[in-house]
Amino acid sequence: MGERLTVDNPPSAEGPWRERGPVTGPKDAACGFEVTENFERFNQSNDIYTRGQWDARIRSEKVLNWFRGMFRTGLGARNAEGYSVRDFALRNAGWMGANLTIQRSLHLGRTDGFLDYIRPYSEPNPEKDPVESPAAMSEEVKRVARLFGADDVGITQYDPRWHYTASFSPKTLEEKPYAIPDGLPNVIVVVTAMHYEAVQSYPSATAGVAVGHGYSRDCELVQAIATYLLNLGYRAVATVNDTSLAIPYAIQAGLGEYGRNGLLITKDFGPRVRIGRIHTDVPLAHDQPIRFGVREFCDTTCRRCASECPPKAISFGKPTEEVPGRSLIKGVRKWQVDPEKCFKFWVNQSTECGVCMRVCPYNKDTSRWASRTWYRLWRRMAASPLKRFALWLDVKLGYGKRVKPREYWRKFSST
């Protein structure tokens, strides 16, 4: 640490994971995780977005403009449907809440919520409010989370395997010590659903409003829950994309399964979610992982995300522990998505992509009674011997088809 990262001075490979936790944890079988003896904790500097800043094989003026486009009006806009100034304006407006969180600590060399945990606004109340029981407190926390906009909540235990070995400073382009405080045994995991209609218009900048607004809601939500717990006298650290891997935690907390597209597939919103976590020492009861047929459906029946991915970054094959490049965690047997191919496509679009989220049959509109009922029926079919029929029907009924951005604008302007 303390030296600028380059291709010739890459992030450190070794982490202190052996001292901090076992390779295989007690919940792994229920989660469907296959963690092997080759497991290594992940270094944040190897994340494809951080590599876009220090790694000459990824970094370019185009990549830097991709990052700048989030803040600079008009950057990336062109004369193409879904990529006009208005489309980028809508996307960037969606990010505003998340940007407030990021901007708060930039002068300290931090990127709260994305590279660094979100600094709490206060110390815990010195007078601890007593907790009746971990189970009762879990119920209370879940009610509070829903009040502030969580679409689902699960609770699990701290698992060192999913935490980074080191963090990254975009200011100095150096590794910096991993810094989340110790002694926080419980993790509250929250998911927020992204706008269904906007996601239907991927690939486009228009669809980006779903991601930006998802992060904005997530940032507000995790900070509200952390603030509630701090006021009760407990320690609570809010995190979004920083400090740890979100998907394994969400699976351990019973919020969904892992899909071929490399995303968390939740029961009610499929892959169309953002994930936040709050690390805390308030006594809480833990949830159990759930299985509702995703692994089997992806494995034996569906390849839709792999076929539709524009740069073919998603595997058609079986789960493997072989990883394409340094931006994937080592020693976990799973479907691998090539982050380099994926990110290159994003940069060429000047915005992110979510085609694999749009086409996934588990991505359905569950906001209305009729569509929710149909989805639940379909989900049962997909978990039964009628898997092939379920997939055929899904395609036949037109689910997952792209909605043109101008159609999205028309719908959204008439509501």
Which residue, 39 or 345, is less far from ligand SF4 as judged by CB?
345
Distance CA 128, CA 234 (A): 7
Q: Is residue 319 close enough to count as binding ligand SF4 by CB under 6 A?
A: no
Closest residue by Cα to residue 173 from 59, 272, 284, 281:
59
Q: Is residue 359 close enough to count as binding ligand SF4 by CB under 6 A?
A: yes
Site for ligand SF4 in 283-312 (CB under 6 A): 297-298, 302-305, 309-311
Scored b (16 or more CB within 10 A) or e, 298-331 reads beebbebbbebbebebbbeeebebebeebbbbbb
Which residue, 11 or 354, is less far from ligand SF4 as judged by CB?
354
Site for ligand SF4 in 254-283 (CB under 6 A): 259-261
Q: How far is the CB of 264 from ligand SF4 (least distance, A)?
A: 10
Q: Is residue 356 close enough to count as binding ligand SF4 by CB under 6 A?
A: yes
Element (H, E) at 278: strand 273-280
Contact between 287 and 156 (Cβ < 8 Å) = yes
Q: Is residue 355 close enough to count as binding ligand SF4 by CB under 6 A?
A: yes
Which residue, 87 or 308, is less far from ligand SF4 as judged by CB?
308
Site size for ligand SF4, by CB under 6 A? 25
Distance CA 241, CA 220 (A): 14
Site for ligand SF4 in 203-262 (CB under 6 A): 259-261
Which residue, 152 or 257, is less far from ligand SF4 as judged by CB?
257
The span of 119-127, 184-192, 193-201, 348-356 binding ligand SF4 (CB under 6 A) equals: 348-356
Contact between 156 and 286 (Cβ < 8 Å) = yes
The span of 46-54, 81-89, 154-162, 351-359 binding ligand SF4 (CB under 6 A) equals: 351-359
Cα separation values, 373 from 134, 367, 369, Å: 34, 10, 6
CB-count burial class (<10 Å; 0-12, 13-18, 19+) for 333: middle
Distance CA 379, CA 376 (A): 5
Interface residues toward ligand SF4, by CB under 6 A:
259-261, 297-298, 302-305, 309-311, 313-314, 337, 342, 345, 353-356, 359-362
